[in-house]
A and B are shown apart, each in its own frame.
Chain A
Amino acid sequence: MEFSVNHPALFWLAALVILYVLGQSVFFLVKAWRRARELGISADRLRSVVTGSALFTIAPAVGVLLGMISLSKFLGLPLPWLRLSVLGALTYELPAAASVAKILGLSMEQQVGDATVYISIAWVMTLGILSGILIILFFQKRMEQRLHRVKEKDAKWSAILMDALFMGMIAAFLGMVFADIRMGLPGWIPVFVMLFSALIMAICGLLVKKLKLTWLENYAMPISMLGAMAFAIPLTRWIGGA
């Protein structure tokens, strides 16, 4: 069979893997939904989790789509479609592909024309990021048991520990937003965008509390995220940091 990065057979192969992962998501969704119902959480509240999570995901997912488009210039569509629909993120897939391109002196603006190179890149992308999944496979049960023991010993500290874990992650991203401020005003754009997002979220919080708009609680995050992303457009034009 003559090789092409966009060969129809490659689309089918990618679709097969993506279908499996989609099936896994549906399986866990159904199981967790039933469990939540057993625990007395109403179907309405669970539906709001699904719609809220779905809305919240659209903007980052479009960002992933942009990554897929940029990788497709080098690898065609099926492989980036597969890699970014499952396991990977652009922050990994791009350096993985770039590392092989660099070794061979290939331009990432030109499509790979050789099957051996293409398959080698696919292997690097597949094997280079397996550690997380392997650790979850072997250690998740043990981690859960350990956390349960902490909870049995001291329930209050267990809750604080989880909050601290989340705060650590959020703090890292908050710090990162300030990384470019030494570049001058354009470097402040991410900071202003973050503050705008925080402002919208605070306004939503006030509306929920003061006007009892409880339905808004579920949509506050997507609204603040999309609002801040939209704000970045005129802000960047005004400051001139595109």
Chain B
Amino acid sequence: MKPSLYEARVHTWGRVSLVLAILMFMSYPLLASLLFGAAPDAGLVFQGLLAVAPVFWVVGAIEAFTFGPMLGSGGAYLGFVTGNLTAMKVPAALRAMQVLGVKPNTPEGEAVSTIAIAASSIVTTLVLLLGMLLLNTLRPVLESDTLAPAFKNVLPALFGGLAVVFVAKNWKIAVAPVVLMLAVFLIQPRLSGAISLLIPVGALVAILAARWLYKSGRL
């Protein structure tokens, strides 16, 4: 089948926009240097990177190889620039595909996932802009002790609903990774700080279990 104009061009759009985005991200410290006549301290940057880059470069690489296929190309090119993938962009894309009844790795899934990620990115930008403009008014409310438990529990609130939909549909595939992850976190609770590293482990176990179920005719 001949690819559509979208499919033929999405990688060019994506790659050009990513290169421009990287240049734009770097422009902030570069232009700040010019504005204030101050160069970065190379030793400090190196030491700072040494503390975070080994972990976060691995996390970023894992996220790219795990979420890239899930989101489709348009969604991945956009999602990796706008960030907040695990708590926002991936669930938004998943939810949208489920509601519309389209599958990932199909032209429909690709388009719907990209629309959901774009909408989510625009809303995040607007919320942060509004939040900044109304900071003095909002700060006491947002930082109040009353609301603190609600924001502390965003992830359980998000994944509870998401789990019902996906576990109900794929409970056979869900058993192995859920049991494994429960065991991992019960034995070593401190790993919750390394959730990004555990997502591919969960995905790998789920894929292996799914493959076994599929090959043995249980799916």
Contact = CB atoms under 8 A, between A and B. Distances in A.
Contacts of A107: none
Contact of A167 (B123, B131, B170): B170
Nearest to A62: B127
A14 B135 CA distance: 17
A18 B19 CA distance: 15
Interface in A120-167: 120-124, 126-133, 135-137, 139-141, 143-144, 147-148, 151, 156-167
A22 B170 CA distance: 35
Given A49-B119, A225-B161, A103 B201 contact: no
A131 B56 contact: yes
B77 A117 contact: no
Contacts of B27: 13, 16-17
Nearest to A190: B156
Given A14-B28, A92-B56, A137-B19, A176 B155 contact: yes
B33 A198 contact: no
Interface string A158-187: 111111111111111111111111100000
Contact of B11 (A103, A141, A221, A232): A141
Contacts of B145: 242
Given A17-B25, A123-B29, A228 B68 contact: no
B193 to A, nearest CB: 9
Task: Select the residue from A144, A174, A230 with max chain B CB neighbours within 10 A.
Answer: A174
Nearest to A59: B154
A179 B189 contact: yes
A36 B112 contact: yes
A162 B195 contact: no
Task: Select the residue from B90, B95, B160, B195 with max chain A CB neighbours within 10 A.
Answer: B160
Contacts of A207: none
B40 A116 contact: yes
A116 B29 contact: no
B174 A171 contact: yes
A68 B131 contact: yes
B32 A136 contact: no
A35 B6 contact: yes
Given A147-B105, A174-B159, A177-B155, A86 B64 contact: no
B21 A20 contact: yes
A136 B112 contact: no
Contacts of B28: 13-14, 17, 79, 82, 122, 126
B182 A169 contact: no
B70 A162 contact: yes
Contacts of B91: 56, 221
Given A53-B95, A143-B69, A161 B157 contact: no
A210 interface: no
The 4 closest A-B pairs by CB, nearest first: A175-B181, A168-B203, A197-B160, A132-B60
27 contacts: A25-B118, A28-B118, A36-B108, A41-B100, A57-B92, A62-B131, A63-B87, A65-B138, A68-B132, A87-B80, A120-B41, A124-B45, A130-B60, A133-B64, A144-B11, A144-B72, A159-B103, A162-B105, A168-B66, A170-B167, A170-B174, A177-B156, A190-B156, A194-B156, A196-B160, A221-B95, A229-B153
